[in-house]
A and B are shown apart, each in its own frame.
Chain A
Amino acid sequence: MNAYLRLLSLLLPVQQRYTWLSEWNAELWHVRSESGWVPALHLLRGALADARELRALTEKESPEGWSLTLPWLQSWIQPLAFPLAMFLIMTCAAVYVPGSRDVLLSRSYNAPSSIVLLKDAEHPTISYATYAEWIRRRQLLFDEFAFYVVQKRYVNGEHLRVATASSNLIRMLGLGRSVTDGMYLSYAAAKRLGYPSQVRLGASMMRVQGILPRTTLQLWDDPEAIVLADRLPAGMHGHVLGAVAAGAPDINWGFAVTQTRKPPVHIHVTPLEERVLMPGRAFLFACVILLLGLAATRPLVRGDGRLRMPIRLRLRLAIFVGGQVFLLLASAYLGSLAIAMGMTFSRPEDATGAQAFAAFLLLLPTIRLTLRSNRHRCPCCLRKLGHPARVGQPSAAFLNWYGTELLCVQGHGMAHIPDMPTTSFSEPRWMPLDASWAVLFSQ
């Protein structure tokens, strides 16, 4: 009860906290000792309403006095508190959602842009014999091919989708040197098996050569483990990856393969990049759209006055705004990742789109609010501007301006904020005050 009252007392100005707490503690003590706990709890229900009423009365009586009781509200700490709180909340969300936690903890993967997944337009798979014929023939479009076939097999007693692949698959995917003697596990499978160094596949033991970035890489049939082999049985049907040769014609949609004494085979092409969740790229895309959107709707920098500031102050302001924006960007990245991975998508490219959209939605209001808030902040001392004064009349908009004038309490300058944006005066203007004004702010 006392802790609750103490918490509520934070709503009040410092000067009134002690009196308010004393009154409520005394009332509670008497009610508890005379009538018991239940009436005391009933009494406590009104504490919030009372604190709010007292706060409202205090604000009404002396708005300036009230603001002076919380100096941190006007200092530079308060604007950093919101981005910092947002960053902490989003970090918790990203760590709580399993998919986003996996992405954050596993190593990042950038798919080579030249790698494409090839699929027969009429059949779900391509036979190993066709693949063998392709690698024998001289190629114009591709530098090399890789083949894999996915089967359900028991690995350490767990039923996993195991891909048996040509020995160059891992190298083509840009995941390091291909080692045929061993197995590569996906991140989820390795976690499921307890990160083993050796696994049993059928009757043979195999060494685990590496863990694949499962959360970011999805091949056809979504293999959970990959075993490389120098040779595969000719009767197998699987999937083929190709490395597009430099300078090859555009094959984004597909191509046809002519065969002797057989009808041509139509092949669909899917770039590997489309099957890979790359959170960094999706976020970058959202940032670019945001930058274009913000720049198109509002000027991103404040106009006159800034240039006359010393370099030290300009640097401090840049660090201050940069810190805010950095925290908001980091929050939006983590938040968008948590949202995208929290939604279940069968294809990673859908998660990419969702992440970009979520990042944009998180960034747009927060960055706009931050920029707007900084326009009402003194660029010298970073304090919130105050003492609003009305200037002019609406009829003055034709030849002059009308609006509000905000003053820095330290006397660094004043901001002119037009009520009605005009072509000559649409954004707040900062007017620095020189040393001759110092006498007015000596107190």
Chain B
Amino acid sequence: MAETGKLSHTAALILHAIAVGYRYGFSIMESTGLPSGTVYPALRRLEAEGLIRSQWEAEAIAEKEQRPPRKYYKTTAAARPVLEASRSRYPLLAALTAPAEEKERV
């Protein structure tokens, strides 16, 4: 697990975006303005460190809507202190990422 408050600015921004409700890679890209080559590898690292966890959308929902199931990301309990520390370290995090709309929320 990452040491509290020691996340890079980019990783903290992505973690914050997930925390405020952006749940999949492309929406995180759009909300943070970061390229896919940064967002997806960062998601892997955050997941490996136990700060987020991924979950596949239920097959039934995807089949009903005639589309492939999507992989969603969610922060874990371990992410809370890290996020707090990151927000105090990078005070503009909240200003950089607006909260997601309702349809994106879990």
* Structural contact, A26 and B36, CB atoms closer than 8 A: no
Determine the chain A residues whose CB is within 8 A of the CB of B48 once the complex forms. 57, 61
Determine the chain A residues whose CB is within 8 A of the CB of B36 once the complex forms. 42-47, 49-50
Question: Given the interface contacts A43-B26, A43-B36, A46-B35, does A27 sit within 8 Å of B41 by beta carbon?
Answer: no
Asked whether any CB of chain B lies closer than 8 Å to the CB of A404, the reply is: no
User: From DSSP, what is the main secondary structure of chain B's interface residues?
Assistant: helix
Interface residues of A in 13-53 (CB under 8 A from B): 22-23, 25-27, 29-31, 33, 39, 42-50, 52-53
Interface residues of B in 1-56 (CB under 8 A from A): 24-26, 29, 35-41, 44-45, 48
Q: Which 7 A-B pairs have the closest CB atoms?
A: A46-B36, A53-B41, A46-B37, A50-B40, A49-B37, A26-B68, A23-B71
Determine the chain B residues whose CB is within 8 A of the CB of A30 once the complex forms. 24, 26, 67-68, 70
* Structural contact, A46 and B68, CB atoms closer than 8 A: no
Determine the chain B residues whose CB is within 8 A of the CB of A61 once the complex forms. 48
| Residue of A26, A29, A47 ringed by the most chain B CB atoms within 10 A | A26
Interface size on B (CB < 8 Å)? 19
* Structural contact, B45 and A53, CB atoms closer than 8 A: yes
Q: How far is the CB of B37 from chain A (nearest CB, A)?
A: 4
Asked whether any CB of chain A lies closer than 8 Å to the CB of B69, the reply is: yes
* Residues of A in contact with B, size category: 20 to 34
CB pairs A–B below 8 angstroms (14 shown): A26-B71, A27-B71, A30-B67, A42-B35, A43-B29, A43-B36, A46-B36, A46-B38, A46-B41, A47-B36, A47-B40, A52-B41, A57-B44, A57-B48
* Structural contact, A27 and B38, CB atoms closer than 8 A: no
Known: A45-B36, A57-B48. 18 other contacts (CB 8 A): A25-B68, A27-B24, A27-B70, A29-B67, A29-B68, A30-B26, A30-B67, A31-B26, A43-B25, A43-B29, A46-B38, A49-B37, A49-B41, A50-B37, A50-B41, A52-B41, A54-B41, A54-B44
Give complex CA distance A29, B40 in Å: 16
* Structural contact, A53 and B44, CB atoms closer than 8 A: yes
